[in-house]
Amino acid sequence: MPENTPASTAPFKHAVVTGASSGIGAATVRKLRSEGWSVVAVARRAERLEALAAETGAVPFAADVTIDDDVAALAAFVAGNGGLDTLINIAGGARGADPMATANNDDWEWMFQVNVLGTMKMVRAFLPALRAHGHGTILNLTSSAALAPYEGGGGYNAAKFGQKAITGALRLEEAEHNIRVIEVVPGLVQTDEFALNRLGGDPAAAAKVYEGVAEPLVAEDVADVVSYAVGLPHHINLDEIVIRPVAQAANHKLIRRL
C-alpha cells in the first residue's frame, strides 16, 4: 500500500472464515487463498484446520463460535495478526429432521446456538475492527431453508429464518459505518457432512437426500459465489444471493431422475 494511502480506503483482502474445517467453509478458504487473500480459518476441529492451513497457507485458529471466550480470543488473535476487512460466517448446520410432534430439544438448541447466536457473537466481536477499517464486509451464509418452511425442517427453518433476520437488521444498522452485509442463500449443496450431521451420521439416509439429483451444487460452487461477492468493489453490495442447482427450481420442486 502506498504510504500516503489511508488504511481505511485501501483494498485489504484480509478475511476471517468460520466453518472452515469442511464443506463450504473449507472450499471458501481454498478459493480466497487462490485469489491472494490472507485468511484466518476458524473451526472447532484443530487437526482439520492444520491440514487446510498446510495446503493453502491460511492461518488456522481453533475456536467454537458459540463460546464467548473462544470468540474473544479469536478477535484478539486477528487484531494482533494484521486485522481484517471481511468476516465470512459459514459455521452453521442442521441437526435432525423431526416433525414438530417429536422435536428434540437438544437439536433445536444446537441449531439456534450455531446458526443464530454464533453469527451474532462473531459479528459483535468483529464490528469494532470492521468499523475502524472503514470499508468492512460481512457475509453470512444462510440457506434456502430461510425462505420457506418444509415438513421436518421446523428447527432448521426457524434457525435459518432467525439468522436471515439478524443479517437484515445488521445491514440496516451498519450501512452508516460503510459496512456491506451480504447474505448467501444456498439450496441443495452436496457436501461430505451436512446431511450426514443432520441425519445422525447415517450415510445411507444422507445419500438419499441427493439421490437422483443430476447435479446438486457442490461446496466449490458456493465458494465461487462467496469469493465473487466479497471481491467486488466495496460500493457494490449483493444483498441477498440465492443459489440453487437447476434441478431445484424451488424448495418444493426438486427433480430426481430415479
DSSP state letter for 112? I
- Report the residue number, 144 or 227, with the smaller CB distance to ligand 8X3: 144
Nearest to 64, CA basis, from 117, 102, 13: 117
Strand partners of residue 218? 190
Interacting positions 76-95 with ligand 8X3 (CB under 6 A): none
Residue numbers annotated as active site: 156
145 binds ligand 8X3 (CB under 6 A): yes
Using the rule CB under 6 A, give the single segment among 61-69, 108-116, 142-150, 218-226 that binds ligand 8X3.
142-150
Using the rule CB under 6 A, give the single segment among 105-113, 118-126, 143-151, 169-177 that binds ligand 8X3.
143-151
CB of 194 to ligand 8X3, least distance (A): 6
Given a contact cutoff of 8 angstroms between Cβ atoms, the answer to whether 36 and 11 are in contact is no
User: Which runs of consecutive H residues, i.e. helices, occur in 80-153?
Assistant: 105-111, 118-133
CB of 99 to ligand 8X3, least distance (A): 15
Report the residue from 23, 60, 162, 187 that binds ligand 8X3 according to the rule CB under 6 A. Answer: 187
Cβ of 220: how many Cβ atoms within 10 Å?
14
Given a contact cutoff of 8 angstroms between Cβ atoms, the answer to whether 71 and 65 are in contact is yes
CB of 256 to ligand 8X3, least distance (A): 14
Report the residue from 143, 163, 167, 227 that binds ligand 8X3 according to the rule CB under 6 A. Answer: 143
Given a contact cutoff of 8 angstroms between Cβ atoms, the answer to whether 227 and 31 are in contact is yes
144 binds ligand 8X3 (CB under 6 A): yes
Which residue lies nearest ligand 8X3, judged by its C-beta? 143
CB of 177 to ligand 8X3, least distance (A): 29
Written as one letter, the residue type at 217 is: L
147-186 mask for ligand 8X3 (x: CB under 6 A)? ----------------------------------------
Given a contact cutoff of 8 angstroms between Cβ atoms, the answer to whether 32 and 84 are in contact is no
188 binds ligand 8X3 (CB under 6 A): yes
Interacting positions 112-141 with ligand 8X3 (CB under 6 A): none
- Report the residue number, 60 or 187, with the smaller CB distance to ligand 8X3: 187
With contacts defined by CB under 6 A, how many residues of the chain interact with ligand 8X3?
5
Q: How far is the C-alpha of 46 from the C-alpha of 64, rounded, in Å? A: 11
Cβ burial of 159 (10 Å; 0-12, 13-18, 19+) is buried
Question: Which residues have CB under 8 Å from 124's CB, separation 6+?
Answer: none
Q: What is the 3-state secondary structure (H, E, C) of 132-161?
A: HHCCCEEEEECCHHHCCCCCCCHHHHHHHH
User: Which positions lie near ligand 8X3, rule CB under 6 A?
Assistant: 143-145, 187-188
